[in-house]
Amino acid sequence: MHREDLRLVQFPLVKKPHSQYYPFSIFTPMFSKRYRWFLLLAIFVSLVVVLPITQRAQRQSQRVKKKSLDAVPGEILVRFRPESKSKQPGRGVLTEKSGRQIPFSIKAVSPKFEIVEGLRVVQVNPAETSNAIEVLRARPDVVYAEPNFIRRASVTPNDPRYPQMWGLNNTGQPADHDGHPGTAGQDIRAEQAWAITTGSRSVVVGVIDSGIDINHQDLHDNIWTNPAEVAGNGIDDDGNGFVDDINGWDFAHNDATVFDYTEPTYPPAPSYTGDIEDHGTHVAGTIGAVGNNGIGVTGVNWQVSLMSLKFLTGDGAGSSANLLNAFAYAKAMRQLWDSSGGMKGANIRVLNNSYGGERFSQAEQDAIRALSDAGILFVVAAGNESLPNDLFPAIPRTTLLQT
């Protein structure tokens, strides 16, 4: 129901002294009993019909506002200097210049690994978020303080068959759903690359996104499996701090189930409220759907190992804190692979990041630098806006221009 579809019932106004207008009282004797009953009926209709509609519209507006938030209320990413004693987990108070105090609690971004030295999550009353950031930024033991930003999936189309995948091999075939032809040769030269190599399952690509359908017929053979973890035994076999992380980890729900879609078919019923996982599955297919198997599509890599690092949930959104946690896991698994001679961890060479946001995060930039230092290539989506990223900033792709 649109706002313009609502009709308000207007009542006569009676002029009172001092040039003020007041709503007409239905008990004013100058009007007939029949007219009073008409007004009573009109009021009843407005309460029974218009009020519920208005309340529904308000609830819908609140849901839209919730989805459009660009940061998690009450959470702040704070990087403390090495000598600071305030970075220890616990509770405390922040003191404003006026002397007013703001209670807070502090915790590690990742309970297992530290992707950025001294980076912590500070939690306060949501209404105090801005005030707490201001106080923290003024402290000498703080490098920076910023909101825990929300990142969202970059929307992508569905290309079910290779002949339609003009990005891999553009022959001038229809390039959109309206049948407009593409420009022959405007592609990534995939077939020329495949003449050299079609990929290798020894190379692990981390997909930081929503979850991946690990049982998809065109993905299953290219899903990474932790070589040092025993599935379902409830034991952290490889000692990395994560129990049964067989195919990666779900940092949004903090568990080992990287695919949470529960409907028997796709798309889901309108009543379904869980995580859909279509975005991460689509991205994984673009990177590494099994090639030359006579099924569905082909990925850029016919053979590869896809690690699911889930931080986006059902609404396609995820926090910077959970994203940083995924970064930390990827870095630690690469270092574990190197230190164990390939017996533990994962040979992560690439992290794919097909999500975005509008506001710059210093914490994310520091983490990207740490990933690069660990020998991990950080790949980002260029976006769907057809705009130059150096002139129209969007995170994380603009972050790379500043790194």
d(CA 260, CA 278): 11
Residue 258: CA count within 13 A, CB half-sphere: 29
d(CA 37, CA 149): 55
pLDDT per position as a tens digit, 91-127: 999 999 999 999 999 999 998 899 999 999 999 999 9
Nearest CA-CA partner of 279 in 151, 156, 397: 156
Q: What is the pLDDT of residue 171?
A: 87
Q: What is the pLDDT of residue 181?
A: 87
d(CA 4, CA 196): 61
d(CA 297, CA 292): 9
Is the pLDDT at 12 greater than 50? The verdict is no
Q: What is the pLDDT of residue 294?
A: 86
Domains of the chain are: 3-67 (no CATH), 71-150 (no CATH), 153-402 (3.40.50.200)
pLDDT per position as a tens digit, 301-334: 999 999 999 999 988 899 999 999 999 999 999 9
Q: What secondary structure does DSSP assign to 295-321, as a single string?
A: SS---S-SEEEEEEEE---TTSEEEHH
pLDDT per position as a tens digit, 167-207: 888 889 887 778 888 899 989 899 899 999 999 999 999 99
| 381 in Cβ contact with 354 (< 8 Å) | yes
Q: What is the pLDDT of residue 55?
A: 41
Q: What sign has the CA pseudo-torsion 128, 134, 137, 141?
A: negative
Beta bridge partners of 379: 352
Q: Using N-to-C axis directions, what is the helix angle for 320-339 and 362-373, rounded to 10°?
A: 10
C-alpha separations of 125 from 56, 100, 102, 311 in Å: 28, 14, 8, 24
Q: What percent of the chain has pLDDT over 90?
A: 63
